[in-house]
Amino acid sequence: MRFYRTLPGGSTLDITSFFMNRSLVSRMLMLGIPLLTVVLLLIFVATGSSIEHIVNRAIARNAQLQAQGMRLALEQALAETRNQLLILAAGSMDPEDMKHRMEFRAKANGLHYREVAYVGLAPENRYLLLSHDSQIINVPMHVALDSPSSPFHNLGGEQKPGYVNVGQPMEAVYSMVPVNKSLQSLSLHVLRFFTAVHDREGNFTGYLLLSLDMKDLRDIVSRYSSPDAPIAASGADTRVRSLFFDREGWMLFQSETPDAALAGKSLGNDAVRAGFWGDYGRPGFSMAFRPSPEHINYWSMVADVQAGQANQLPMTESSTVWSNGQMRVERVSYVPVSFKPGAGGEPVVLGGLAVLDTSFTTTRTGMQVMGIYTVSFLGGMILLALSLWWLAHQMGKSLNMLGRALHKRNITGGSDDLDLPPMPKELEGVKFDINTLLGRLRQAKIQRRSHEALQDAQWQREPVPDLPHPEDLPASGLVGTSSAMQTLCDQVRKASQVLADVLIIGETGTGKELVSEAIHRLSARSSGPFITINCGALDENLLMDTLFGHVKGAFTEARQARKGAFLAAEGGTLMLDEVGNAAPKVQQALLRALSTRRIRPLGSDQEVPFDTRIVAATNASLLEDAREGSFREDLYYRLAVITIHTPPLRERKTDIPSLTVYFLTEAVKARAKAEEVGAEVETDVENPNSAQNAPSRAAKGFKASSTMQMPQISRGALAKLMAYAWPGNVRELKNTLTRALTFCEENILYAENIQLGPVASNGASEDASKQQTQGNESTAQEGREKATGKASADMQDSKADAAASSRAEKKNGARPETEDNTQRTPTSGKNQAASAFSAASPPGQEASSLTDADAAASSTTTSDNPSRQVPLYAPGSDQESGLEPRHVSGHVSGLEPGFESGQTRAPAAFTGAASEAAASTANGNGGSSTVNADTVRLNHRQAAMWPRLEAMGSISRQEYQQMLGKDISMRTAQYDLQLFVQMGLVRKEGRGPAQRYVVVAGRAFYRG
């Protein structure tokens, strides 16, 4: 905002006028930039000296730590040499033995020992071994004695056991040494260690000498001086030179670049002695250099090392030649290098190590800090200026544009106000305009959202117009037109044209069994039987008998021969479901049968050929199981001649509309059939004359079938189905649609009727449970498996046992009934489901107290005669063992009595509250079930034996069988006792022949 009024003259007023006539951006820049400049300068001045001091201390400490790291590495190498010498001294002094040990040591990656010499008391006990190019050379004695640097000259020292003497670094030269069938001169730079050797009586026998190659010490120093050192000075750009000097101040060697050529380089000190003057060449070490006494700082460093002290040299222009010579050095850190000759002895200073920092890290760091300060200052100025300019510019621009736009919109009117705090006078008009406009916009949004919500709700409840017609879908088989299903159908068609075995892999619920049936139906074996075996539902022995059969007399209860599934499916197809769960013994038998196409029934001495196509199915990765060892890899390759993968539903969601129509059509047909059966039962009750009932039953059945139509599907319901992931695949979709149809009260399925995921059964109403028929099939099956799962292997009975039980029933005058003595009561069509539940319950107990599994298990009937009681499986029969034959096309011939076509799986061995008691026992409660004992139902044998059993207190299986009579088999007796255990009336004690069944105190039962 500019100030245009005229001000009186004067210097102060001129400045004020200049400031007030500036724009908002100019004012903010004129106030902010000088203020930030002063603040940053104060910060830089206050922190600059402190930061410089801290950085110098850190760099100095880092350099000293690097020197200490080199020192520790060198001392560790010296200590290792001492230990090796003591180990050699403790062994045999025989030259050949010593040579073998040195050859072994030369092959190891470690320190290089160039000389091994033994100086015995007698001249004949002396020898010298040299290590050259991984070879151990026995130097002739005259050659060794001719060398001035031979270890046999003036060798002496402490003779205490375990004490190691060390000499000064020296250069050893040997002439005319036999190397590789030639005479050569060898020059070695070594550090010699020697110790006294004693015999077993402790007598001194001589000295043993071991020389360490000085190049190893040079390599250690070079490695620690490189940027890749274990302790780097201050980064990869650091340049460090290291120098090793002895106690007398002689410079012996310097560090080199640790590259591939380092091993071939000789020792040198040219770089570190540049600029010094002094003596060159020490006796015994020709390349050593000692500076003259004028270099005071250098000799001060040598004096500190001799005293065992570590420190740093201050570098100034006049302090040392390193600060102004050819190699400019910023800092010198030095440490003494000591050697401990023996346990408990004082360390001996061998020399010193000087680390020369030529990188000028402190100077560069100071310059970097100054650069950071400068960049920070300039950057802060620029950022502040830009920020202030942008802020002021945006504020002015936004206010002007907002005021003009809102004032223009305010002409149309409005009344809603915003709840804002008081604003300045200049913005009150803007506030009024904002309140007016926002009120109108808010009202418009509310109306638009309401209209969209109403349209969306109507759209969601409209039926889907373009669903496929049920007649266009296959009556049985694979439903879907997606690319995945087209590929699957093509694979099924191709697999059906050949006779090779097929492996079907897919998740649970993806239709592996349907694929197997389709392959059989389209193959040349379609006229033969199609049999399914669930390998995961049977134990090892029962599965072996089910697959391969047995001959008569193969075991105690083998009263007749049994073909087995391989022979029963002769000329057809045998499906092995869940083959990955088969036991190793079964896998081995399957492998042999598939490889030879012959089987050997149990108890038979001859192999029987079979002509059966094998289709295996699994939901696991058999190849991974084979790698883990749980499945045979050779069996996998036998089965996987043709491999078909069934796609999960989440990968073919475009098939969900077709599947929905198919499953709803099937569910409606099942419901119509159930109502037709109910109408027949109601007619039979009203008029027992079957001849007169025929027209009435036909009329009611036609009426039930005509009123049942597939409900329409709303858009919302289909969208909900399409959005779900379907972890249970097609089976879960079928169960979801069956459940939705059960609770649907209109002729259209809405989204609220679709219940996805785990559904709790506690909130289901009684009316809904009465309507559910086909949907409870899977639940009833789970209830039956839970009730009989624990005793499935023990509750096997032969057909002779079933006949004996029938004769016993007729003898007692009892009417034909099931094993659990339950009977179905005919009711009207409307209350048929509820009556079925009530028929399985004791008097005085409502049907609604049963669980879904119990109701389904107690209300299962055959389709031919709904009032007829469905018999239980006899223990040991094929149906209980999991063998499920199907007649796909044509008549299945040659089946055993356990393989009749159309055989139906019966309900569990006990129903109602007995099922609850069995489930409670299976959960680990043992005999202390909490179910009311008055609700337990027993069969006729158990009801007759219970008073005697209760009076005896306990009974064994043999006693129970003898008391029932000779017509009762061992398995029937075991079956009854297992039911007693599952009902919670008795508990098992002991094992084997000594096992007894003890009555649980306080339990009663209900006798049907």
The pTM of the full predicted model, rounded to 2 decimals, is 0.41
Predicted local distance difference test score (pLDDT) of residue 817? 34
- The CA distances from residue 949 to 821, 834, 927, 957, in Å, are 19, 35, 16, 12
Close Cβ partners of 303 (under 8 Å, ≥ 6 residues apart): none
**Strand-pair category, 530-534 with 573-577:** parallel
Q: How far apart are CA 747 and CA 61, in angstroms?
A: 87
**CA distances from residue 992 to 154, 957, 972, 988 in whole angstroms, order as listed:** 90, 11, 18, 11
Mean pLDDT split into 10-residue runs, the chain, 1008 residues = 46 62 71 80 80 78 86 92 90 89 82 90 88 86 86 79 89 87 87 90 89 91 81 58 91 87 83 86 89 89 92 64 63 90 83 84 75 82 79 65 61 60 64 77 87 89 88 81 92 93 94 93 93 90 92 87 92 94 92 93 91 94 90 92 94 93 90 78 58 52 57 92 93 92 87 78 39 38 37 35 38 36 34 32 32 33 34 35 39 33 34 37 38 56 86 88 80 86 87 83 52
Q: Which two tokens stand for residue 415?
A: 């009344």
Asked if 884 and 532 count as a contact pair (C-beta separation under 8 A), the reply is yes
Residue type, position 730, single letter: V
Fold observed for domain 940-999: Arc Repressor Mutant, subunit A (1.10.10)
pLDDT value, residue 238: 54
Instruction: Report the CATH architecture of 483-646.
Output: 3-Layer(aba) Sandwich (3.40)
- pLDDT for the residue 232: 59
User: CATH 1.10.10.10 in the chain, residues?
Assistant: 940-999
Q: Which residues contact 498 (CB under 8 A, 6 or more apart)?
A: 642
Which token pair is 931?
Answer: 């179910």
Which stretch of DSSP H or E encloses residue 573?
strand 573-577
C-alpha distances in Å from residue 885, one per residue of 528, 534, 577, 881, 889:
11, 12, 13, 12, 12
CATH 3.40.50.300 residue ranges for the chain: 483-646
Domain with CATH 3.30.450 in the chain: 76-214, 217-365
* Residues belonging to the chain: 1008
Q: According to the model, what pLDDT value does residue 595 have?
A: 92
Q: How many CB atoms lie within 10 A of CB 588?
A: 14
Element (H, E) at 767: helix 766-771
> φ and ψ at 9, to 5 degrees?
-70, 175
217-365 maps to which CATH number? 3.30.450
**Mutual orientation of helices 425-460 and 361-409 as an angle, nearest 10°?**
80
Dist CA 830 CA 871 (whole Å) = 25
562 and 570 in contact (C-beta within 8 Å)? no
The whole-number pLDDT of residue 849 equals: 31
Q: Token pair 């290089």 is at which residue?
A: 112
The answer to whether 162 touches 342, Cβ cutoff 8 Å, is yes
Query: Candidates 1.10.3470, 3.30.450, 2.30.29, 2.40.50; correct CATH number of 76-214?
Result: 3.30.450
Distance in angstroms (rounded) separating the CA atoms of residues 768 and 745: 10
| Cβ contact 169:136 at 8 Å | no
Give the span between the Cα atoms of 504 and 573, in whole angstroms: 14
